[in-house]
Amino acid sequence: MKITLQNLGRRFNQEWIFRGIDYTFSSSQSYAILGPNGSGKSTLIKVLTGQLTPSEGKLEYTVESSSIEVDTVYSYVSIAAPYIELIEEFTLNELLDFHFKFKNYLSGYDAKSIVNLLGMEKSANKGLKFFSSGMKQRVKLAIACCSDSKILFLDEPTSNLDTSGEDWYLNLVKATSSTDRLLIIGSNQEKEYSFCDEKFSITSYK
Protein backbone atom coordinates (compact mmCIF):
# COMPACT_ATOMS: atom_id res chain seq x y z
CA MET A 1 0.00 0.00 0.00
CA LYS A 2 1.15 3.54 -0.77
CA ILE A 3 0.17 6.99 0.44
CA THR A 4 1.20 9.67 -2.04
CA LEU A 5 1.23 13.34 -1.06
CA GLN A 6 1.29 16.00 -3.77
CA ASN A 7 1.74 19.63 -2.72
CA LEU A 8 -0.10 18.80 0.48
CA GLY A 9 -0.88 21.56 2.96
CA ARG A 10 -3.06 22.14 6.01
CA ARG A 11 -3.84 25.38 7.77
CA PHE A 12 -5.93 26.57 10.69
CA ASN A 13 -7.46 29.99 10.08
CA GLN A 14 -4.65 31.90 8.33
CA GLU A 15 -1.75 29.91 9.76
CA TRP A 16 -0.17 27.15 7.69
CA ILE A 17 0.71 24.11 9.82
CA PHE A 18 2.59 22.57 6.89
CA ARG A 19 2.65 23.24 3.18
CA GLY A 20 4.06 21.92 -0.10
CA ILE A 21 4.65 18.30 0.92
CA ASP A 22 5.55 15.95 -1.93
CA TYR A 23 6.24 12.53 -0.46
CA THR A 24 5.35 8.84 -0.72
CA PHE A 25 4.91 6.40 2.16
CA SER A 26 5.22 2.79 0.96
CA SER A 27 4.36 -0.61 2.43
CA SER A 28 7.09 -2.73 4.01
CA GLN A 29 8.77 0.46 5.24
CA SER A 30 8.76 2.28 8.57
CA TYR A 31 8.74 6.06 8.79
CA ALA A 32 9.25 8.56 11.60
CA ILE A 33 7.47 11.91 11.31
CA LEU A 34 9.72 14.21 13.33
CA GLY A 35 9.37 17.66 14.85
CA PRO A 36 9.08 19.44 18.21
CA ASN A 37 5.83 19.66 20.16
CA GLY A 38 3.28 21.77 18.29
CA SER A 39 5.05 21.46 14.94
CA GLY A 40 2.19 19.63 13.20
CA LYS A 41 3.08 15.93 13.47
CA SER A 42 -0.32 14.94 14.83
CA THR A 43 -2.10 17.18 12.33
CA LEU A 44 -0.32 15.43 9.46
CA ILE A 45 -1.22 12.03 10.90
CA LYS A 46 -4.86 13.10 11.17
CA VAL A 47 -4.76 14.12 7.51
CA LEU A 48 -3.13 10.83 6.51
CA THR A 49 -5.78 8.82 8.37
CA GLY A 50 -8.67 10.80 6.89
CA GLN A 51 -9.64 12.50 10.15
CA LEU A 52 -8.84 15.92 8.63
CA THR A 53 -9.01 17.07 5.02
CA PRO A 54 -6.04 18.87 3.47
CA SER A 55 -6.39 22.60 2.83
CA GLU A 56 -4.56 22.24 -0.47
CA GLY A 57 -2.89 19.56 -2.54
CA LYS A 58 -3.72 15.93 -3.15
CA LEU A 59 -3.61 12.77 -1.07
CA GLU A 60 -3.82 9.41 -2.86
CA TYR A 61 -4.03 5.91 -1.39
CA THR A 62 -3.28 2.91 -3.57
CA VAL A 63 -3.24 -0.85 -3.07
CA GLU A 64 -1.64 -2.83 -5.88
CA SER A 65 -2.02 0.19 -8.20
CA SER A 66 -5.75 0.54 -7.43
CA SER A 67 -6.90 3.79 -5.83
CA ILE A 68 -8.81 3.81 -2.55
CA GLU A 69 -11.39 6.44 -1.64
CA VAL A 70 -10.50 8.50 1.42
CA ASP A 71 -13.76 7.61 3.17
CA THR A 72 -12.77 3.91 3.16
CA VAL A 73 -9.18 4.38 4.34
CA TYR A 74 -10.20 3.69 7.96
CA SER A 75 -10.65 0.01 7.11
CA TYR A 76 -6.93 -0.26 6.25
CA VAL A 77 -5.69 1.66 9.30
CA SER A 78 -5.03 1.07 12.97
CA ILE A 79 -3.83 3.86 15.22
CA ALA A 80 -2.69 4.56 18.76
CA ALA A 81 -2.49 8.22 19.79
CA PRO A 82 -3.05 10.41 22.86
CA TYR A 83 -6.22 11.87 21.27
CA ILE A 84 -7.74 8.41 20.63
CA GLU A 85 -9.84 7.62 23.70
CA LEU A 86 -10.71 4.22 25.14
CA ILE A 87 -14.29 3.41 26.11
CA GLU A 88 -13.70 3.54 29.84
CA GLU A 89 -17.06 2.02 30.76
CA PHE A 90 -15.83 -1.26 29.26
CA THR A 91 -13.65 -3.83 30.93
CA LEU A 92 -10.51 -4.87 29.05
CA ASN A 93 -12.20 -8.05 27.81
CA GLU A 94 -15.26 -6.08 26.67
CA LEU A 95 -13.08 -3.56 24.84
CA LEU A 96 -11.22 -6.31 22.99
CA ASP A 97 -14.49 -7.99 22.05
CA PHE A 98 -15.90 -4.68 20.79
CA HIS A 99 -12.80 -3.57 18.86
CA PHE A 100 -12.30 -6.88 17.09
CA LYS A 101 -15.84 -6.88 15.78
CA PHE A 102 -14.55 -4.19 13.40
CA LYS A 103 -10.96 -5.32 12.88
CA ASN A 104 -9.47 -8.75 12.34
CA TYR A 105 -6.76 -10.00 14.66
CA LEU A 106 -3.21 -9.97 13.38
CA SER A 107 -2.21 -13.54 12.58
CA GLY A 108 -1.21 -15.41 15.73
CA TYR A 109 -3.19 -13.21 18.13
CA ASP A 110 -6.56 -13.41 19.86
CA ALA A 111 -8.12 -11.78 22.92
CA LYS A 112 -6.44 -14.12 25.38
CA SER A 113 -2.98 -13.70 23.87
CA ILE A 114 -3.35 -9.90 23.89
CA VAL A 115 -4.29 -9.94 27.58
CA ASN A 116 -1.23 -12.12 28.20
CA LEU A 117 0.91 -9.80 26.10
CA LEU A 118 -0.25 -6.91 28.25
CA GLY A 119 0.41 -8.88 31.43
CA MET A 120 -3.06 -7.91 32.59
CA GLU A 121 -4.64 -11.27 33.32
CA LYS A 122 -5.79 -10.07 36.75
CA SER A 123 -7.27 -6.88 35.29
CA ALA A 124 -9.09 -8.39 32.31
CA ASN A 125 -12.51 -7.90 33.91
CA LYS A 126 -11.73 -4.57 35.55
CA GLY A 127 -13.23 -1.36 34.18
CA LEU A 128 -10.78 0.63 32.09
CA LYS A 129 -11.65 3.76 34.10
CA PHE A 130 -9.73 2.16 36.97
CA PHE A 131 -6.58 1.62 34.85
CA SER A 132 -3.54 3.84 35.33
CA SER A 133 -2.49 6.12 32.46
CA GLY A 134 0.38 3.75 31.68
CA MET A 135 -1.93 0.73 31.55
CA LYS A 136 -4.29 2.59 29.21
CA GLN A 137 -1.41 3.48 26.91
CA ARG A 138 -0.31 -0.15 26.75
CA VAL A 139 -3.87 -1.16 25.86
CA LYS A 140 -4.01 1.42 23.04
CA LEU A 141 -0.70 0.20 21.63
CA ALA A 142 -1.57 -3.49 21.88
CA ILE A 143 -4.95 -3.07 20.18
CA ALA A 144 -3.42 -1.05 17.33
CA CYS A 145 -0.40 -3.31 16.80
CA CYS A 146 -2.38 -6.56 17.05
CA SER A 147 -5.00 -5.50 14.50
CA ASP A 148 -4.58 -6.87 10.99
CA SER A 149 -4.12 -3.52 9.23
CA LYS A 150 -2.18 -2.44 6.18
CA ILE A 151 -1.10 0.80 7.86
CA LEU A 152 -0.16 1.27 11.52
CA PHE A 153 0.07 4.80 12.96
CA LEU A 154 1.67 5.34 16.36
CA ASP A 155 1.61 8.95 17.57
CA GLU A 156 3.78 9.67 20.64
CA PRO A 157 3.74 5.94 21.45
CA THR A 158 5.55 6.02 24.80
CA SER A 159 3.37 8.72 26.36
CA ASN A 160 2.70 7.81 30.01
CA LEU A 161 5.04 4.80 29.87
CA ASP A 162 7.88 4.25 32.32
CA THR A 163 11.23 2.70 31.37
CA SER A 164 9.91 -0.86 31.50
CA GLY A 165 6.92 0.26 29.43
CA GLU A 166 9.21 1.75 26.81
CA ASP A 167 11.05 -1.56 26.51
CA TRP A 168 7.69 -3.35 26.27
CA TYR A 169 6.67 -0.99 23.43
CA LEU A 170 9.82 -1.74 21.43
CA ASN A 171 9.29 -5.49 21.84
CA LEU A 172 5.63 -5.11 20.83
CA VAL A 173 6.47 -3.30 17.60
CA LYS A 174 9.13 -5.88 16.77
CA ALA A 175 6.81 -8.83 17.50
CA THR A 176 3.90 -7.45 15.46
CA SER A 177 5.83 -6.12 12.48
CA SER A 178 4.95 -7.73 9.17
CA THR A 179 6.54 -7.70 5.75
CA ASP A 180 3.72 -5.81 4.03
CA ARG A 181 2.69 -3.35 6.77
CA LEU A 182 3.37 0.38 6.48
CA LEU A 183 4.41 1.81 9.86
CA ILE A 184 4.32 5.56 10.55
CA ILE A 185 5.40 6.96 13.92
CA GLY A 186 4.95 10.56 15.05
CA SER A 187 7.64 11.40 17.57
CA ASN A 188 10.23 13.78 18.96
CA GLN A 189 12.01 11.11 21.02
CA GLU A 190 14.62 8.99 19.26
CA LYS A 191 13.97 5.94 21.46
CA GLU A 192 10.51 5.69 19.88
CA TYR A 193 11.66 5.62 16.26
CA SER A 194 15.36 4.71 16.14
CA PHE A 195 14.53 1.52 14.18
CA CYS A 196 12.62 3.34 11.41
CA ASP A 197 13.84 3.12 7.82
CA GLU A 198 13.08 6.74 6.89
CA LYS A 199 12.93 10.05 8.79
CA PHE A 200 10.53 12.80 7.69
CA SER A 201 10.90 16.26 9.27
CA ILE A 202 7.67 18.25 9.36
CA THR A 203 9.64 21.46 9.99
CA SER A 204 10.95 21.30 6.43
CA TYR A 205 7.45 22.16 5.18
CA LYS A 206 6.60 25.33 7.07
**What are the phi and psi torsion angles at 175 (to 5°)?**
-70, -30
Element at 103 (helix H, strand E): none
pLDDT of res. 116 = 98
Q: What's the CA angle centered on 64, arms 60 and 67, to 5 degrees?
A: 30
Question: Which pTM was predicted?
Answer: 0.95
From first to last of the 206 residues of the chain, give the pLDDT tens digit. Answer: 999 999 999 999 889 999 999 999 999 999 999 999 999 999 999 999 999 999 999 999 999 889 998 889 999 999 999 999 999 999 999 999 999 999 999 999 999 999 999 999 999 999 999 999 999 999 999 999 999 999 999 999 999 999 999 999 999 999 999 878 999 999 999 999 999 999 999 999 98
CB atoms within 10 A of CB 7: 12
Give the domain ranges of the chain: 2-205
Contact of 49 with 77, CB cutoff 8 Å: yes
Burial bucket for residue 11 (CB in 10 Å: 0-12, 13-18, 19+): middle
2-205 maps to which CATH number?
3.40.50.300
pLDDT of res. 56 = 97
Phi-psi region of 13 (alpha: psi -120 to 50; beta: other; left: phi over 0): left
pLDDT of res. 43 = 97
